[in-house]
Structures are given as structure tokens and as C-alpha cells.
């Protein structure tokens, strides 16, 4: 009878290494990274497939005006602005010709969904900066 040890028993750290590697790579493959979480309804922020998404506790008109102010302050070139009673879209370009798109959607009379995408694949840092400035403008 041979005294062979199964490879997995011989190297248990290989299983652990494979599991850790899978856990480390999973968020990148899923396309979704949660940045911060706050109260339900407003405050939770996610960066999903290149778009920052959150809700803010202000009406659509106020968020639209705040976004316009922030984008103008950044000296981005205005490409297009559209607004209805239910939603809005602001499209601008940076000096390096990155497309900045902010989509707003009325959830309730006092809650607006905000989506921010910068560039083709998304720029998380600039998106968060714009969101922070919009929130500051609303205060």
C-alpha cells in the first residue's frame, strides 16, 4: 500500500491562497464597488460600471441648479442640458475633453437620484468631487 498524501492535504495553504485570490479579484470582476453607506434612501454611494450613483434629499429643481453651478464653477464646456418634471441630464466636457454626464431622476418630491459618469470608463475621484460639491451647494 502506498502512503500517498492528497495534494490538497499536503499544501492546505494553496486552497487558502486560491480562496483569498478569488475574494480579492471578485469586486473587480463584478463591476460594482460600494464606496460608502449611510441612511437608507439618501447617503449611500456606489460606483457601478463607471457611474457614481446616489440619492440626495432635495427636489429635482434644486439638485439641477446645484449641478449647473458646480459644473460652471469647474469651467467645463457645456454641451447639453435637458430637464423635464421627472428627470434631467447635463453633459459637459473638461479641458482634456473628458465627457462629464450628470443624470438626475425624481424619486419623490424631496428625493432625487443622481448618476455621475466621467469619461468612457468612469473617473471615481472626479465623480466623488463633483458629488461633494453638489451636496455643498445644496446646504
Whether residue 20 is contained in a domain is answered as no
Model pLDDT, residue 113:
95
The predicted-structure confidence for 28-70, as pLDDT tens digits, reads as follows 544 444 444 433 345 688 888 889 999 999 999 999 999 999 9
Whether residue 23 is contained in a domain is answered as no
Residue 117 lies in domain: 31-138
Distance between CA 88 and CA 36 in Å, rounded? 25
Closest CA to 32 of 135, 138, 101, 122: 122
The predicted-structure confidence for 72-129, as pLDDT tens digits, reads as follows 999 999 999 999 999 999 999 999 999 999 999 999 999 999 999 999 888 899 999 9
Decide if 132 contacts 70 (C-beta within 8 A): no
Global confidence as pTM: 0.70
Write the CATH number for 94: 3.30.160.110
Model pLDDT, residue 91:
97
Distance between CA 139 and CA 128 in Å, rounded? 17
Q: Supply the DSSP symbol for 66.
A: H
Beta bridge partners of residue 119, listed in sequence order: none
Amino acid at each position: 500500500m502506498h502512503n500517498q498524501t492528497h495534494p490538497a492535504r499536503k499544501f492546505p495553504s494553496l486552497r487558502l491562497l486560491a480562496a483569498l485570490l478569488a475574494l480579492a479579484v471578485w469586486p473587480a470582476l463584478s463591476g460594482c464597488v460600494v464606496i460608502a453607506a449611510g441612511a437608507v434612501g439618501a447617503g449611500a454611494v456606489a460606483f457601478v460600471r463607471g457611474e457614481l450613483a446616489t440619492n440626495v434629499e432635495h427636489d429635482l429643481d434644486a439638485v439641477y441648479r446645484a449641478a449647473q453651478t458646480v459644473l460652471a464653477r469647474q469651467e467645463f464646456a457645456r454641451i447639453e442640458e435637458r430637464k423635464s418634471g421627472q428627470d434631467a441630464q447635463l453633459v459637459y466636457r473638461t479641458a482634456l475633453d473628458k465627457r462629464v454626464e450628470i443624470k438626475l431622476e425624481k424619486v419623490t418630491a424631496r428625493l432625487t437620484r443622481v448618476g455621475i459618469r466621467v469619461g468612457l470608463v468612469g473617473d471615481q475621484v472626479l465623480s466623488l468631487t463633483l458629488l461633494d460639491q453638489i451636496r455643498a451647494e445644496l446646504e
